[in-house]
Structure 1
Amino acid sequence: MGDAVGLTFQQIQKYERGSNRIGSSRLYEFAKLLDVPVSYFFDEMPSNALSGRPMSGRGRKGFGEAGTPFEQEKDPLVKRETLELMRAYHKIRENRVRKRIFEMIKAVGAASHADALGGSKQRRSAKGG
């Protein structure tokens, strides 16, 4: 990924760890490279991610550092497993295969989420009824 956008491995690591902030133009480059809209990176952002934090200025904590909403939420986007999955996914050269795997993962995730919600509803109705 770094090669594709003209960054070193170390620079990419700094973005991954949150020690460097990602500017809008760089975010746009990443979105283009990953073939996703820029909004993709904000889809599951916690609603309190920016609460109580100024919008400008240096010296702010990076995403994933202790005390930030991302660390508190245990954001899956900062996990090594997610990074490894993304790297493996983007090594798939056949667009059709990659898209089908993407759709399969979305379907499995949705089904798993629905099952989890269904199980919690059953537990609540058993307690209440």
Structure 2
Amino acid sequence: MKHPVDVHVGKRIRHRRWMVGMTQQQLADSVGIKFQQIQKYETGMNRVSASRLWDIARTLAVPIGFFFEGLSGDGADAPAVEADLLANKEAMELIRAYYAIPEAQRKRLFDLARVLSEAA
């Protein structure tokens, strides 16, 4: 049976890998495992060991805590209830495009989006 935290960590791995434009094979090669193992991590079928999570975090250029963001802080094992934007391909493409914009323009676009959302 999949543990909810393992599923959450796997989703965060998939999200970050996708955001940096890396394939499962590229990530697997970087951390010295087969891509099938990355598939199992991303679905929560297999737990990621601490040392492997360290390697994945280093490869994906994020702190270890990134993989646990969004979990409830009350000690419960289940992830916090929230919309899973990471599963929405359109949202992911928008996020990737957003981060491809130079920082100065990205800030202006963010400010514009905030104003438009408040006016809606």
Superposition TM-score, scaled by structure 2 size: 0.49
Higher RCO structure, 1 or 2 (CA under 8 Å, sep 6+): 2
Larger radius of gyration: 1
Superposition TM-score, scaled by structure 1 size = 0.46
